[in-house]
Chains A and B, each alone.
Chain A
Amino acid sequence: MAEWIARQLPALVVLVPFTAAPLAYLLGTGFGRQIALISALLSQPLAILLAVTVVREGELRYEVGGWGGPLGIDLVVDGFTAVMVLVTTVVGLFVTVYALGYFGNRERYRFFWPLWLFLWGSLHALFLSGDIFNLYVCLELVSMSAVALVGLTLRREALVAAMRYMLAAILGSLFYLLGVALIYGAFGSVDMQTLREVVRSDTTGQAALALMTVGLVLKTALFPLHFWLPPAHSNAPSPVSAVLSALVVKGSFYILVRLWVDVAEPMAFPGVSTVLGVLGSTAIIWGSIQAFRQQRLKMLVAYSTVAQIGYLFLLFPLVTGGGQAAADAWMGGIFHAVSHALAKSAMFLAAGTVLARFGHDRIDGLGGLSRRAPVTAMAFGLAGVTMMGLPPSGGFVAKWQMIRASIESGEWWWAAVVVTGGLLAAAYVFRVVGPFFGREVDDLDDADLNAGPSPWTMESAALVLAIGALVLGIVGQPLLDLIMVSAPALVAGVTP
Chain B
Amino acid sequence: MSQTDLYTLVGSALFVIGLYALMTRPHLLHKVLALNISSSGVFFVLVGIARRVGGPVPDPLPHAMVLTGIVVTVSSTAFALALAKRIYTETGTAALDAADVDVGESLGG
Report A-chain residues with C-beta under 8 Å of the C-beta of B101: none
Q: How far is the CB of B82 from chain A (nearest CB, A)?
A: 10
Contact B49 A181 (CB under 8 A): yes
In this complex, the interface size class of chain A, counting residues with CB under 8 Å from chain B, is: 20 to 34
Report B-chain residues with C-beta under 8 Å of the C-beta of A182: 45
Contact B79 A171 (CB under 8 A): no
Contact A174 B35 (CB under 8 A): yes
Contact B76 A144 (CB under 8 A): yes
> Pick the contact of A184 from B31, B62, B75 — CB < 8 Å?
B62
Contact A140 B72 (CB under 8 A): yes
Q: How far is the CB of B20 from chain A (nearest CB, A)?
A: 12
Q: How far is the CB of B24 from chain A (nearest CB, A)?
A: 13
On whether A160 and B87 interact (CB within 8 A), knowing A70-B61, A171-B35, the answer reads yes
In the docked arrangement, what's the CA distance between A303 and B56, Å? 55
* A28 at interface by CB-CB < 8 Å: no
On whether A174 and B42 interact (CB within 8 A), knowing A133-B65, A144-B75, A167-B22, the answer reads yes
* A170 at interface by CB-CB < 8 Å: yes
* A147 at interface by CB-CB < 8 Å: yes
A133-150 contacts to B (CB < 8 Å): 133, 137, 140, 144, 147-148
> Pick the contact of A185 from B52, B80, B91 — CB < 8 Å?
B52
Contact A163 B87 (CB under 8 A): yes
> Pick the contact of B83 from A70, A156, A162, A177 — CB < 8 Å?
A162
B41-79 contacts to A (CB < 8 Å): 41-42, 45-46, 49, 52, 61-62, 65, 68-69, 72, 75-76, 79
In the docked arrangement, what's the CA distance between A170 and B69, Å? 12
Q: How far is the CB of A369 from chain B (nearest CB, A)?
A: 32
Q: How far is the CB of B86 from chain A (nearest CB, A)?
A: 6
Contact A144 B87 (CB under 8 A): no
In the complex formed, the residue of B with least CB distance to A155 is B90
> Pick the contact of B19 from A144, A151, A166, A171 — CB < 8 Å?
A171
Contact A164 B96 (CB under 8 A): yes
Give a binary string over A164-176; 1 marks a CB under 8 Å from any B CB, 0 the rest: 1011001100100
In the docked arrangement, what's the CA distance between A159 and B39, Å? 24
> Pick the contact of A178 from B42, B75, B84 — CB < 8 Å?
B42
Contact B15 A174 (CB under 8 A): yes
Report B-chain residues with C-beta under 8 Å of the C-beta of A156: 87, 90-91
Contact B90 A154 (CB under 8 A): yes
Contact B87 A159 (CB under 8 A): yes
> Pick the contact of A174 from B38, B80, B83, B86 — CB < 8 Å?
B38
Report B-chain residues with C-beta under 8 Å of the C-beta of A190: 61
Q: How far is the CB of B59 from chain A (nearest CB, A)?
A: 9
On whether A177 and B91 interact (CB within 8 A), knowing A167-B22, A167-B35, the answer reads no
On whether A171 and B61 interact (CB within 8 A), knowing A144-B76, A147-B79, A151-B83, the answer reads no
Report A-chain residues with C-beta under 8 Å of the C-beta of B87: 156, 159-160, 163
On whether A166 and B52 interact (CB within 8 A), knowing A137-B68, A156-B91, A171-B19, the answer reads no
Report B-chain residues with C-beta under 8 Å of the C-beta of A148: 79
Contact B90 A170 (CB under 8 A): no
Contact B83 A166 (CB under 8 A): yes
Report A-chain residues with C-beta under 8 Å of the C-beta of B96: 160, 163-164
On whether A140 and B76 interact (CB within 8 A), knowing A70-B61, A184-B62, the answer reads yes
Q: How far is the CB of B16 from chain A (nearest CB, A)?
A: 11
Contact B83 A171 (CB under 8 A): no
Q: How far is the CB of A455 from chain B (nearest CB, A)?
A: 30
Contact A184 B49 (CB under 8 A): yes
In the complex formed, the residue of A with least CB distance to B80 is A166
Report A-chain residues with C-beta under 8 Å of the C-beta of B19: 171
Contact A181 B46 (CB under 8 A): yes
In the complex formed, the residue of B with least CB distance to A180 is B65
Q: How far is the CB of B45 from chain A (nearest CB, A)?
A: 5
Contact A178 B45 (CB under 8 A): yes
Report B-chain residues with C-beta under 8 Å of the C-beta of A147: 79, 83
In the docked arrangement, what's the CA distance between A147 and B76, Å? 10
Contact A184 B90 (CB under 8 A): no
Q: Chain A interface (Cβ within 8 Å of chain B)?
A: 70-71, 133, 137, 140, 144, 147-148, 151, 154, 156, 159-160, 162-164, 166-167, 170-171, 174, 177-178, 180-182, 184-185, 190
Additional pairs, 11, CB under 8 Å, beyond known A174-B42, A185-B49: A140-B72, A147-B79, A154-B90, A163-B83, A163-B84, A167-B31, A174-B15, A178-B41, A178-B42, A184-B46, A185-B4
